[in-house]
Amino acid sequence: MLHVLILIPFLWAALIPLMRALPRIHPGWAVLPVPALLFAYLLSRIPAVSGGESEFVSLPWMPDLGIDLSLTLDGWSLLFALLITGIGSLVVWYSMFYMGKSSESIRHFYVYLLMFMGAMLGVVLSDNLMVLYAFWELTSIASFLLIAFWYRRERSRYGALKSMLITVFGGLAMFAGFNLLYGMTGTYSIREIAAQAADLSGQSLFLPAMILVLLGAFTKSAQFPFHIWLPDAMEAPTPVSAYLHSATMVKAGLYLVARMSPIFAGGSEWFWIVSLTGLITLLYGSFKAIRQTDLKALLAYSTISQLGLIMSLLGVGSAAAFYDDPARAAFFGLATTAAVFHLINHAVFKGSLFMVVGIVDHEANTRDLRKLGGLMKLMPVTFAIALIGSFSMAGLPPLSGFLSKEMFFTAMVNIWEFDAAGAQSWMLLLPIVAWVASVFTFVYSMILVFKTFGGRVKADKLDKLPHEASAGLLAAPILLVSLAVVFALIPNALASALIDPATAAIRGNGLTAETAHVSIHFWHGWTPELFMTLGVVLLGILLYRTYTRFSLLDREWSGRDTLNRAYNGGLSLLENGGRRATDLYMTGSVRRYLIYILLFLAVSLCGTLLLSPNIRLGMDDYAPITFYEVAMVIVMLAAAAAVPFARSRVNAILFTGAVGYMVTGLFLVFRAPDLALTQMIVETVSVILFLLCFKFLPKLKREKEKPVFKWTNLIVAGGVGVTMTLVALAAMGSSPFEPISEYFLRESYESAGGKNVVNVILVDFRGFDTLFEIMVLGIASLGIYGLIKLGVKTNP
Amino acid sequence: MPKGSDIFLQNVSKVVFFIILAFALYLFFTGHGSPGGGFIAGLMSAGALLLLALAYDIETVRQVVPVDFKLVTAVGLLIALCTGTGALFFGEPFLKHAFGYFDLPLLGKTELHTALIFDLGVYLAVVGVTMTILLTIGEDS
């Protein structure tokens, strides 16, 4: 059933283009049943999973490579699958009212969306790392397509490209990390790797694998400093922002970190990297969110900071892995429960807030906070939704956000007592940073509600006076915020149904849903957490009243943008640098390329000669040198040396010819009559051809003067000459095998019936070479024929 | 060069042309036993034709050897290829040669060798190639 579950969205996506036949029906109606039915099925699995069952199915895909389509449904996967299908249904519903039926290529939209949904289900259900990676990249691609849905706008394309580059960068790093894991364990199955986790932590590849996997998770989940793609992804249609960039895709990184916790949590590096990255992201995102003027940008930074919060909780929760004592483990493991709880809460309130912003955008035609205000009376229902969503985000009672924020504070205070990862005094920093970030969170939540809905209506800045949205548009966010209230009322039912099995699945250590249970109360006495929340509210209200006076918080509503500038600068540096580097060496001059080739030849050969131990330049077994050889070599050297100094081309050609005839002479002396004959005729023909070329050189710019002297040429030529001489000497001096020529001399007459061994070799022993050599000649002649005959036609 | 402008060259060429051709034929047939072979013989024959072209003109060469030299190349390649393929019919590997000694009417005991047919292919190809190149360039200028 799990395979079918993933397959359905893809199959359905393939069918959506057929909706063209029914132009009067919004294609969203055809899409809606898919996530709704999947959601219903997954709901029916809750009792079994919370009872401790976990489903595991496997189909062979590439069994030789250890890649199987194995899927598993445990508490953690189930939670994500429910989020994906549940919020997916609401987003599809919302998009039906948000997106026009005819004006946009609406069917494409749903194809991409279904593709994304299937891929995301694949990510959370996969047990095989390679399958997970495949689905992971598919979510990147679907997200790319969805961000650039309005592809005629330059900003959309920019945002899509940016998100693609960053998430694919992380995805590839993760791929490498997965392969390192495979190298250490010999399996791609997550559960089998987790079973070997104890042997892993000592290995040298453990830390690289961890960092690479984390890179993937951090880029996907928009952690500092890879968060910069998320604000630019807000160019996507609002349903996409609500679905992908708040509730599901950006949580894929969190999913992965939690999924990998049983494998990596044994190392203290994991604790520090995950917690600190999460905290930095939390603080930075909440700080930046205050300075945004665009509602969606504010929500984007808020998403970044909330993701950081969950990430830090996952990191802190890994402290439980350091203790065998169940009580201590549970004490620190509370953070994991808080992370899971906040993950649910965030998906709920952030989804609704995005939908609210979409409604405001739809009604007022702007998302700019400087133009908005006083919508409270005009859009009371929207205001109510926004109020509940924001208060849950700020962590105010009586909403579910309050509960998870309290647990967050508890976890951060508890970590004071953690003493296994070294540097205990630094632990003090964690709750302080968390608390400051919460103050900022409170402030931007208030900005979101009261700058939009409070104050006076700025009618002069708006195109039209907004009014309440249609019931269909409001239905989805209403359902979501009511969940925020319901979860707050029955947190323990939610906990036993979803949170505890999820926590048990990602904490490992043989935890079950019962033992992982943490009772959630609104009132838990006069604890430090309560005072922290009180402080957040008091300081937050104070800061909200006065923050425009702090230039750091309100630098003309936007502020500096260092990281994006670094990204853009880096990209253009890559492009320009790449082009300049290419221009530097790809000059188009053949002389340059020859120098590269020859220098490489000389350097690599000389280097090999120097480094090889078995090379010797001995001259013991050389034949004695005769007078004729000496004489001919001297003439040949003189002729060759004269070529570069020749003042005219004719002289150079004649000197070359002289070298050729001297070679003929050497062939004679070395007793190679066939070669001598051939060499003589070929030399004659080529000299004639050279002279022909010379005759037809253009009259203009005829080069009479001496060739230009260049030191580089001399060095390169000398180097190559010396190199080849050394190589020849070394080859002669250290040839370890007997030549096979004895065989030819012996067998030429016996088995081939010829006395001219050279000819016998050419036509008999090695006739195959000759066959193709005459073919080369034929091709050359046809080439010349074609060049001359066709050249005449085009160039009369 | 118009006809009759160089009487010495032309008359000497008439004789030398056949001497060169004869030498080329000798080189061709003796190639398996002594220095020589299809390649050198081909170049030599082409040299004879080139001498004719220099003494008279290209038209004369065309009249003396009224063939398309591109075809000669093709035929040469085909012969060489067929020699190789022929071995396949006897269940031997490609380009496996056979030879034997026969008593021929005029020549007496002679060695006949399929390698000679292969060499003939080489010869024709080389003649064709060389003449194609020379004639193409010559007619262009």
Q: What is the pLDDT of residues A4-35, one digit of tens each?
A: 888 999 999 898 888 777 777 788 888 888 89
**Quick check: B70 and A792 CB within 8 A?**
no
Give the closest of A677, A760, A784 to B136, CB-based.
A784
- With a cut of 90, say whether residue A121 has pLDDT above it: yes
Per-residue model confidence (pLDDT) at position B1: 46
CB pairs under 8 A between A and B: 128
Tell whether B75 is within 8 A of chain A (Cβ). no
Contact at CB, B115 and A692, closer than 8 angstroms: no
Contact B129 A767 (CB under 8 A): no
Cβ neighbors of A236 (< 8 A, separation 6 or more) are A146, A147, A149, A156, A159, A244, A245
Query: What SS3 class is residue A67?
Result: strand
At residue A787, the pLDDT reads 87
Higher pLDDT pick, A490 / B73? B73
Closest-CA residue of A relative to B79 is A771
Q: With CB atoms and an 8 Å threshold, state whether A771 touches B80.
A: yes
Q: How far off is chain A from B108, nearest CA to CA, in Å?
A: 17
Instruction: Report the residue from A770, A771, A781 with minimal CB separation from B129.
Output: A781
At residue A270, what is the residue type? Answer: W
- Give the closest-approach CA distance of A691 to chain B in angstroms: 12
Q: What is residue A423's predicted lDDT score, i.e. its pLDDT?
A: 61
Q: pLDDT tens string for chain B (141 positions)?
A: 455 568 888 889 999 999 999 999 999 988 888 888 889 999 999 989 888 888 888 888 888 889 999 999 999 999 999 888 888 888 888 888 887 777 777 777 777 788 888 999 999 999 999 999 888 887 776
Q: What ipTM does this complex have?
A: 0.91
Could you give phi then psi for residue B102, rounded to 5 degrees?
-130, 155
Structure tokens at A614: 């078995």
Three-state secondary-structure class, residue A467: coil
Q: Which of B84, B113, B132 minimises the CB distance to A753?
A: B113
Is B92 near chain A, with CB under 8 Å? no
Contacts of A202 (CB under 8 A, 6+ apart): none
Phi, psi of B101 (to 5 degrees): -110, 130
Residue in chain B nearest A668 by alpha carbon? B35
Whether the CB of B5 is below 8 Å from some CB of chain A: the reply is no
Q: How large is the average pLDDT for residues A520-533? A: 74
Measured between beta carbons, the chain B residues lying within 8 angstroms of A782 are 70, 73, 132
Nearest to A286 by CA among A268, A306, A269: A306
State the nearest Cα–Cα gap between A742 and chain B, in angstroms.
Answer: 18
pLDDT in tens, A532-591: 888 888 988 888 888 777 766 665 555 567 788 888 889 999 999 999 999 988 888 888
Cβ contacts of A755 on chain B, cutoff 8 Å: 32-34
pLDDT in tens, A335-348: 888 888 899 999 98
B43 in contact with chain A, both atoms CB, cutoff 8 A:
yes
State CA A371 to chain mean position distance.
Answer: 38
What mean pLDDT, rounded, does chain A reach?
A: 85
Q: What is the DSSP letter of A708?
A: P
Q: Which of B109, B120, B137, B141 to mutate to test the interface with A (most CBs of A within 10 A)?
A: B137
Helix/strand/coil for B41: helix
Q: Which residue of B has its CA nearest to A672?
A: B35
Which candidate in B83, B97, B110 is best for mutational testing of the A interface (most A CBs within 10 A)?
B97
| B72 interface with A at CB cutoff 8 Å | no
Contacts of A430 (CB under 8 A, 6+ apart): A275, A279, A312, A316, A412, A415
Q: How much is the pLDDT for A796?
A: 45
User: Least CA distance to B76: which residue of chain A?
Assistant: A774
Hunting for tokens 């001359």 — which residue is that?
A788
Interface touch B118/A782, C-beta < 8 Å:
no
Contact of A520 with A495, CB cutoff 8 Å: yes
**Contact yes or no for A753 and B44 at CB 8 A:** no
| Average pLDDT of the segment spanning A500-519 | 72
Cβ contacts of residue A505 below 8 Å, gap of 6+? A54, A74, A75, A76, A77
Exposed/middle/buried for residue A20 (C-beta within 10 Å: 0-12, 13-18, 19+): exposed
Q: Which residue of A has its CA nearest to B37?
A: A759
Residue A637: pLDDT band with limits 50, 70, 90: very high
B115·A767 Cβ contact <8 A: yes
Reported as a single tens digit per residue, the pLDDT across A176-219 is 999 999 988 888 998 888 888 778 877 888 889 999 999 999 99
DSSP string, A164-208: HHHHHHHHHHHHHHHHHHHHHHS--BHHHHHHTHHHHTTSTTHHH
Q: Are A34 and A9 in contact (CB under 8 A)?
A: yes
Interface of A with B (CB under 8 A): 673-674, 677-678, 681-682, 685, 689, 692, 695-696, 752-756, 758-760, 762-764, 767-768, 770-771, 774-775, 777-778, 780-782, 784-785, 788-789, 792
Q: Which residues of A touch B132 (CB under 8 A)?
A: 781-782, 784-785
Distance CA A228, CA A569 (A): 14
**Residue of A674, A689, A782 with shortest CB distance to B40:** A674
Cis amide bond preceding A225, omega within 30: yes
Terminal CA-CA length for chain A: 75
User: What is each CA distance from A796 to A695, A701, A792, in whole angstroms?
Assistant: 19, 22, 5
**Which residue on chain B is closest to A683 by alpha carbon?**
B43
C-beta atoms of A753 and B119 within 8 A: no
Q: Closest residue of A to B73, CA-based?
A: A778
Q: Do B37 and A674 touch (CB under 8 A)?
A: yes
B interface mutation test: which of A772, A776, A781, A790 has the most B CBs within 10 A?
Answer: A781
B-chain CB neighbours of A781 within 8 Å are 70, 73, 128-130, 132-133, 136
Q: Which residue has the tokens 């190589």?
A: A727
| Radius of gyration of the CA atoms of chain A, in A | 38
CA B15 to chain centroid, in Å, comes to: 19
Q: How confident is the model at residue A120 (pLDDT cuts 50, 70, 90)?
A: very high
- The pLDDT, as a whole number, for residue A636 is 92
Tokens 């269940």 map to which residue? B91
**Which ranges of A365-496 does DSSP label H, i.e. alpha helix?**
375-378, 380-394, 400-414, 429-446, 452-453, 471-489, 491-494
Contact A760 B32 (CB under 8 A): yes
Is residue A294 helix, strand or coil?
strand
Instruction: Give the pLDDT band of residue A491 (cuts 50, 70, 90).
Output: confident
pLDDT of residue A737: 77
Q: pLDDT digits over A745-791, tens only?
A: 888 888 887 888 888 888 888 888 999 999 999 999 999 898 888 86
d(CA A339, CA A347): 12
- Residue found under tokens 């009369």: A796
Q: How far is B3 from chain A (nearest CA, A)?
A: 23
DSSP assigned state of A490: S
- Choose the closest CB to A759 out of B32, B47, B94: B32
Tell which of A763, A785, A789 to mutate to test the B interface (max B CBs under 10 Å). Answer: A763
Q: Which helix (H) or strand (E) holds B115?
A: helix B114-140
| CB spacing of B39 vs A788 below 8 angstroms | no
pLDDT at A333: 78
B112-B114-B117-B122 Cα dihedral, nearest 10 degrees: -120
Out of A233-242, A325-334, A688-697, A735-744, give the one with best mean pLDDT. Answer: A233-242
As a whole number of angstroms, the distance between CA A617 and CA A391 comes to 86
pLDDT above 90 coverage of chain A, percent: 28
Compare CB distances from A771 to B73, B74, B84 and report the shortest one's residue: B84
**Higher per-residue pLDDT: A548 or A121:** A121
Using the Cβ of B122 and the Cβ atoms of chain A, whether some distance falls under 8 Å is answered with yes
Helical packing angle, A206-220 and A129-147, nearest 10° = 30
| Contact: B31, A756; criterion CB under 8 Å | yes
Phi, psi for residue A736 in degrees, rounded to 5: -90, -5
CB-based burial, B14-52: b 16+ in 10 Å, e otherwise: eeebeebbebbeebbebbbeebbbbbbbbbbbbbbbbbb
Are A312 and A274 in contact by the 8 Å Cβ rule? The answer is: yes
The verdict on B35 touching A (C-beta cutoff 8 Å) is: yes
Whole-number Å distance between alpha carbons of A239 and A96: 10
